[in-house]
Structure 1
Amino acid sequence: MRSILAGQILVLGALAFATSASAQEVIDDPQANVVEALVVSAKLPGPAWWRVSDGDTTIYVLGMPASVPKGMAWDKSVVERRLDGAFTMLTPPEWRAGLTDLPALLKLRKKLKDDGDWATRDPQLAARTQRAWSAADPKKPDGWKDWKPLFIAMQLGGKADRAAGLLMSEPDRTIDALAKKRRVKGRSAKVGKAMPMLKSLAREHTDEAGRVCLTETLETVEAGPAARRAAAEAWARGDVKAALAAPRSAERCQLLLPGVPELMRQSVDDEADALAELLKTPGHAVALYPIRGLVAEKGVLDKLRARGITVRTPGDG
């Protein structure tokens, strides 16, 4: 269910910048700003929903969080009610690699192996990595030493989240289960092939870029999970503004990758097109999309409004 920027594929390359500060200055961030009129807290219990509609069709759009704490309770009553009788559940675009791509993926993975030379050149960053990795994976405290910084960053973020009890698989799995129970079939806004993009990204990869991404990841890991937990809890109670305050360091790192800002824009276009297409079918449907991409300037809902399609906020109930 996750979009490309939320973990559908392994990202294997990055642009080269000297420091994380300089990266933040020049980053192309399509979702840096939000449409304030769309950032409205929910009246109904549970997470916030937006509504896209025409004369005979209503699509209930749920903004999704990046992760939630394991076991976090949230009110599912509105989800269940809106899945009842829905003719489909639309999920974000996906980028897939098949079995025939396995040899190429293994070859790309080898490019991320390292002899440890970067750690010698940057002992301060290496020391921070050792501390963070040991805390996240105490059974294999030196597991980072055979890899380049970019791959370390990708692995470390996931390990730290799991150690903190933060799950990227939720609330997706719960909603999938609720949909299957009601025999609502899910469909992706678009399915594309990942390998051409992966090969392009791998060709662009540099060690310096990897260190930028690793620094971004370490900043989030070292800060601890409190901010992410708070954002997830805000999502659960429908507080959109507070939910949007979740740290974006991992996303900023991804946005340094060649072509990723363009892919993010394409993902938004694909989702907007898919939602508009659903309006041709009478009845009601459910759609899921990362919450920031919904309310961003030139995001999914902003683009639909520009087409003259009616969009109602969570404040409308």
Structure 2
Amino acid sequence: MKVSVLIPAYNSEKEIYTCIRSLLEQTYHDFEVIAVDDGSTDRTGSRLDFYAKIHPELITVIHQENRGVAAARNAALKAAKGEFILFLDSDDWMKRRTLETLVAAQARYQADVVICGNVYEGRITTRRHVRRVQIPHKRTLMKMLMKDRQVRNYAWGKLIRRSLFDGLQFWEGRVFEDVQLIPQILLRAEKTVIVPDTLVHYNTRRPNSLTYSLRPDILKDMLEAFQDQARCIVAYDPTLTRPARVMLARVRLVIGSALALHGRFDDPLMDQILPFSEPSPSTEFLVHRNLY
């Protein structure tokens, strides 16, 4: 079974080698790598070209003007030839048996999505994983997603059947684009399996990492992405309205804290998130389109 590993890359010249090396060392070999250089201003593009020249049968590089990570992921998706997709950020890396473990789990359980645990590397290193293999019902899966622990809101760390992306794409021109798309993908999947292995190392040490610093200019996108996720989940199961409101209250608290940290007390966004504990109005979950 062929897997397409998709890497959006922007100004990652110091980290891209570790990312690519982790793929070259994989114990599973039926895969391709599609890396999209999203208009990098450093040597990321030339380094990717160098790796592709050495491994032309494995690595394909796409160069485009800087349009953001969502556009880079969409470009990689269009070029992917694999039956399954795995996203990997250019400053992250995977353990040697990652693809082998995920493909084996997919074959054993005939899953559309296989989710693994991850190691969050930053100022404090944390692990997010389950203790045993789980095949949750979609309702349980949505509750896990909204808690953002064993099932993360991000595109990476998931082996996903390519056909689940048909008619969908990442939210271009914004950040937190995977927060908006991932619930739609998981709701389309007939079966999702969560394995206990911690296989992906996610790097939050880079100064321009979204996780490293919630900049004021991205907070509006953050709020809208989680609101869209809530609408999608509540449209699937209205009984999840309460946990969706709890999730949004938590997101508002994070946004309010980030604005306060930057001294942006008069930011118009502050009016949308205060008070943090106030239940979301019912109109917040009105759905005007079929999201999945």
- After TM superposition, the score normalised by the length of structure 2 is 0.25
Bigger proportion of residues as helix: 1
Structure having greater relative contact order (Cα 8 Å, sep ≥ 6): 1
Bigger proportion of residues as strand: 2
Name the larger-Rg structure: 1
